[in-house]
Each structure stands twice: as C-alpha cells, then as structure tokens.
Amino acid sequence: MSTFKNKKVLITGAASGIGKIMCRLALEKGANIVMIDINKEALERVKTEFSSLGQLYAYPVDVSDLTQITQMADTVKKEVGKIDILINNAGIVVGKYFNEHSLEQIEKTMAVNSLAPQYITHFFLQEMIDHNEGHICTISSMAGLISNPKMAVYVASKWAAAGWSDSLRLEMKQLHKKVKITTILPYYINTGMFDGVKSLIPILEPEKTAKKIIRAIEKEKIYLGMPWGFNFVRTMQGLLPIRLFDLIVGKWMGVYTTMNHFTGHQNK
C-alpha cells in the first residue's frame, strides 16, 4: 500500500483539471507537492489557493521542450530533493482529421503526451531505483486502447504512453525493484479539454476521477480503466472480428462519432 503522507509528489498539468484536483487531494493526505504546468499565472493562483493545505512548489514548464524539462529536473532535485511519487498528467489534443493536422501539431502532441512522461520519468527514476521505492503513475487514456476518428495523433500518443508505462512496470519487476507503476486509462473527462464531445457513454466527472486515480496509486493498481466496463475492451478486441467490433463500439455505442462536434482546447 502506497501512502502520500510526507511524500514528495510531482504532478504535471497541475494548474487545472484533474491535475489541480489531485494536488489538493494529495495535500490533504499530507504530501508535499511539486506542481508543473505551462501556465505560470494559473500555477501561482493554485499555489495561493492551496497554500494553507501544505508545502507546494511551483515550476512553469513547457513539457514539450526537453531543455525546459532538463532545467526543471535539476532545479527540483536541488530545491526539493528526491521525488517519491510522479504523476504524468499533462496532455493536449487536436480534434481534427489527420490530414488537417500541421506538422507542428503532430510533433507537439507526441511531445507532450508521449515523450514528456518518458523524459520526466527518466530524470527521477534512477533515484527511485537506488532507494528501491517510489511510484510512477501515467495518465494515458481509453484512446490508448481504442482507435477513434478526428484524434488519430492523440490516439497514437496515448497508445505510446500506455505501452511504455506498462513496459516500465515489467522492467521494474524483472529488476526486482519496488518501484510501482500505475497506468490510468480514462474515457473523456469533463475538464474543458474535450468540450463539444457528444457521447452516449457518460463523460467522467473530474473530482470523482481524480479521487479514483489517487486511490489507485495508494492501492498500487497496475491498471485503472474508467468507466469500469471499458476494462473489457481488450477482451472484445481479441475475441471479435474487427468489423463487428467497429459496429458495436463505433455505431451502436457511438464512440467513433464522439469528436464530430469537438470544440475544446484546440491547439491551432
């Protein structure tokens, strides 16, 4: 059982959405929080808002920029020390058909959603290994299992994040290290990032989702899929012919048309 009390927890995408909520929840459990976000003003607002709850450190960082990540890691190690729990939460999405993406949008989506978790983990993992303790949680997406129109690059980035995260879990097991790895696979979350999405399946609420993620870390879960029924996606993919899977998930459940009216947080 992992605990947050007196632990140093680094959270990316910490100034809004479930990142901000997870900061609050971890603080309430007695953690010291290192907040990483591209939005400096929002970081300062969150730091002020949560200042009475515990120790917070705030670092404005564009996690698509390896130079900024490197500088942040060096500073955190000097000013904060060893990170006990790392939550790779930052993410972006571009709601367009693939051919409508610019090369810059492709590059940035992959950088934020796929490369940043690996880069940031790389800087803090060795110390966890040396101390034979720690926990790395990566927020992938149900899009890390299910293909979907108008989010091809996002899907690619989240497949990469999910595959890397669970491979890291297996590596820690082979190395006989007590560094725990948790991969989170949520459906759409109502944070503004996916405004305009129309779904027959209920969109997840941020507070409840954040609480489930924190609980998954405490219970050292390997995977957390939300909602619960999506835990059977890989079973369905393995058992059903692809055209039947497309019919059930795409047409009957309406997943393949959820992005038709997407408006939220477009990265132009």
- Sorting pLDDT into bands at 50, 70 and 90, what band is 101? very high
- Residue 225: exposed, middle, or buried by beta-carbon count in 10 A (0-12, 13-18, 19+)? buried
- Sorting pLDDT into bands at 50, 70 and 90, what band is 265? low
The model's pLDDT over 234-262, given as tens digits with 9 standing for 90+, comes to 888 899 999 999 999 898 989 999 998 88
Percent of the chain with pLDDT over 70: 98
Residue 245, number of CB atoms within 10 A of its CB:
17
Q: What does the domain layout of the chain look like in residue ranges? A: 8-257
The model's pLDDT over 26-42, given as tens digits with 9 standing for 90+, comes to 999 999 999 999 999 99
Q: How many residues does the chain have?
A: 268
What integer is the mean pLDDT of 121-142? 97
Distances 240 to 177, 230, 233, 235, 250 between C-alpha atoms, Å: 37, 15, 10, 8, 14
Catalytic center residues: 154
What fold does the segment set 8-257 form as a domain?
Rossmann fold (3.40.50)
Distance (Å, rounded) from C-alpha 168 to C-alpha 56? Answer: 28
